Structure 1
Amino acid sequence: MTSTATALSRASRHSTPPDRRRLADNITGWTFAGPATLIILGFSLVPMAWALALSFTDSDLMSPGRNVGLENYRALVADPVFHQALRNTALLLLLYLPASLAAGLAVAVLLNRKVRGIGFYRTCFLVPYVASATAAGLLMGYIFDRDFGLFNGLLVKLGLPAQGLLSSPSQAMLVLTVIFFWTRFGFSVVIYLAALQEISKEVVEAAAIDGAGRWATFRHVIVPSVRHMTVFLAVWGMIDVLQFFDLVMTTTKGGPANATVTIVYYVWQLAFTYFTAGYGAAVAYVLFVGTLVLIVAGMLLARRKGATR
């Protein structure tokens, strides 16, 4: 009886037209995915549309404000704090991204070995990434404090002069870059480590048989094999940098003298400190367009380089 029922079920399934089966599958899929999709779109597209409309007004978040057209966007050209925020964000991007990719791959290669306690070492590099950014900011703010910080205390014990660090306009952004690197590059290590474990051992052994040394194997086997992960991490890191906010908030609050103000922190200041939400929305949309352009350009460049190889 069971075999007969199974045969009838298969026969009825095969007798159903392909278009109807496809429609039934689509309906079933959207029944499960539809509610979550609507929620995600509601919490992303609706605020984006509202912020775009807000950028054309002089709203203070308390009142709708009046329509000022493109005045907010024109004001950005002559805004010195906006220009400073752009420079600070660009400096962070140039310092952090190459170092994160290079150090992430180097550490991943070292951790891709079967040695005693390797799981503990891998966890040590991941902990700063999964730790609370607020906690990390407060901790690092204490370590790099000019007067009572551990870092300056160590310098004094070594007979070196104390530094301004987070209180110095010339050093604060560099210190924040170091802190940001410490909290984020563990993600690159994990992603690269997963990619390295997918490389066939036969390929590495074949390179060794052909006489390739460690550097040649790294350059001609490992680096090309993880190229797609490098593109992903470059895009991910770029987004991380352009959204840099939490460490600034918990350490320097944009100071001293706007030396560490970033684009996102400036948007927050405009909206919730100065209550110029319309102008803040304009800055946010400039950031959105700039981020989109950089991501698309990076992906096209990576695709072109991949096609020429």
Structure 2
Amino acid sequence: MPHLPAPLTLAETDPRRRQRRKRRSESATAWAFLSPSVVVILGLGILPVVWSLLLSFQANDLVTPSRWVGLDNYRALARDPDFSQAVRNTLEFTALYVPLSMILGLALALALNRKIRFVGLYRTLFFVPFIISATAQGVLFSFILDPEFGAVNSVLHHLGLSPQGFLTDPGQALPVLVAISLWSGTGFCLVVYLAALQDVPRSLVEAARLDGAGHRHVLRYVVLPALAPVNVFLAVWQLIASLQVFDLVYVTTKGGPLGSTTVIVYFVWEQAFKNFTAGYAAAAAYVLAVVLFLAAAGTLALRRR
């Protein structure tokens, strides 16, 4: 007859039971500590996303009961000239801001990545605008660029040049907003590039120089390839930031003049809280969300290639 194993005694099963009870107790304790964060994430993150998605298929004025309209809000967006203008303004802002902020940040990082006097002070001065809120930036530059009493037009007058409209000129307002955003956003790119330049292998740089490569060739064939992952990160980061610009527009131009600075997020706010068409605003917000997802996914796919 085959030999059967002897059954476990109570003394042998007790340690296993105690271990299982200990694990269950540790899990319960961990979930007790995590539960406030889970509730906050569900309450402020997931549930509003689901609710706004359902809202995009409804006609809702935030006061009366909503009415299901299906895809009507999305069809109306496709025919809305104001939304089309907001999309064009957002794309123009992004096309100017993203590459310029990265190019200026890289140029400053290369200039400050060397041993010069007061280099720490220079780095700090370039980074400080990034930590200033966009609201404060908007208020500051609204005074500086005021067509009648601003400091810039005062300087232009003393130089014998004609005054400019800046934020009140439909042809200048959006480029001026890009310039204000560059004043603050370039500092972030500068810091990231400075950190990345510290990780460029010195052995590769020295080997290239021993082979007779000049500064331009070292930059092109050694430094820039090493910065490729950082470029992808900054491109995604700056792209998301530019597509979501709102507070600077709200403080300075409020979408004007003549809608020349109305971006998508401001359009969403205007539809929801000025025109009280919350369902229509939610549909516009989800169009932006899809664009952000596709842009980020496309950029990451290019990095893998």
TM-score, reference length from structure 2: 0.88
How many equivalent residue pairs?
Answer: 287
Q: Partners in 1 of 2:100 and 2:86 — Cα distance?
A: 21
Q: Partners in 1 of 2:196 and 2:134 — Cα distance?
A: 26
Task: State the partner residue of 2:181.
Answer: 180
Residue 241 of structure 2 is aligned to residue 263 of structure 1? no
Judging changes above 3 Å, is the alpha-carbon distance between structure 1 residues 295 and 150 closer, same or farther for their aligned structure 2 residues?
same
Judging changes above 3 Å, is the alpha-carbon distance between structure 1 residues 258 and 207 closer, same or farther for their aligned structure 2 residues?
same
Judging changes above 3 Å, is the alpha-carbon distance between structure 1 residues 125 and 22 closer, same or farther for their aligned structure 2 residues?
farther
Judging changes above 3 Å, is the alpha-carbon distance between structure 1 residues 297 and 27 closer, same or farther for their aligned structure 2 residues?
farther
Q: Which amino acid counterpart does residue 46 of structure 1 have in structure 2?
A: L
Q: Which amino acid counterpart does residue 231 of structure 1 have in structure 2?
A: V
Q: Which amino acid counterpart does residue 236 of structure 2 have in structure 1?
A: V
Q: Partners in 2 of 1:63 and 1:73 — Cα distance?
A: 21
Judging changes above 3 Å, is the alpha-carbon distance between structure 1 residues 265 and 218 closer, same or farther for their aligned structure 2 residues?
same
Task: State the partner residue of 1:281.
Answer: 282
Q: Which amino acid counterpart does residue 43 of structure 2 have in structure 1?
A: G
Judging changes above 3 Å, is the alpha-carbon distance between structure 1 residues 255 and 112 closer, same or farther for their aligned structure 2 residues?
same
Q: Which amino acid counterpart does residue 116 of structure 1 have in structure 2?
A: R
Q: Partners in 2 of 1:276 and 1:124 — Cα distance?
A: 44
Q: Partners in 1 of 2:204 and 2:34 — Cα distance?
A: 41
Q: Which amino acid counterpart does residue 262 of structure 1 have in structure 2?
A: V
Structure 1 residues 44-66: Cα deviation after superposition (integer angstroms, max 9, x where no partner): 11111010111111111123311
**Structure 2, gaps ≥5 residues long:** 1-15, 17-21
TM-score, reference length from structure 1: 0.87
Larger radius of gyration: 2
What is the Cα deviation at residue 250 of structure 1?
0.7
Trace 1:74-223 onto structure 2 (pairs within 5 A): 74-223=75-224
What is the Cα deviation at residue 116 of structure 1?
2.0
Give the aligned CA root-mean-square deviation in angstroms.
2.2
Structure 1 residues 75-108: Cα deviation after superposition (integer angstroms, max 9, x where no partner): 0111111011000000001111111111111111
What is the Cα deviation at residue 37 of structure 1?
4.5
Task: State the partner residue of 1:52.
Answer: 53
Tell me the SS of whatever aligns to 2:208: helix
Judging changes above 3 Å, is the alpha-carbon distance between structure 1 residues 226 and 158 closer, same or farther for their aligned structure 2 residues?
same
Structure 1 residues 120-143: Cα deviation after superposition (integer angstroms, max 9, x where no partner): 111111111001211111001111
Tell me the SS of whatever aligns to 1:253: coil
Task: State the partner residue of 2:301.
Answer: 300
More displaced stretch, 143-152 vs 93-102: 143-152
Judging changes above 3 Å, is the alpha-carbon distance between structure 1 residues 33 and 197 closer, same or farther for their aligned structure 2 residues?
farther
Judging changes above 3 Å, is the alpha-carbon distance between structure 1 residues 83 and 181 closer, same or farther for their aligned structure 2 residues?
same
Trace 1:21-40 onto structure 2 (pairs within 5 A): 35-40=36-41
Q: Which amino acid counterpart does residue 225 of structure 2 have in structure 1?
A: P
Task: State the partner residue of 1:6.
Answer: none
Fraction of identical pairs, as percent:
49
Task: State the partner residue of 1:252.
Answer: 253
Q: Partners in 2 of 1:77 and 1:32 — Cα distance?
A: 47
Q: Partners in 2 of 1:25 and 1:91 — Cα distance?
A: 54
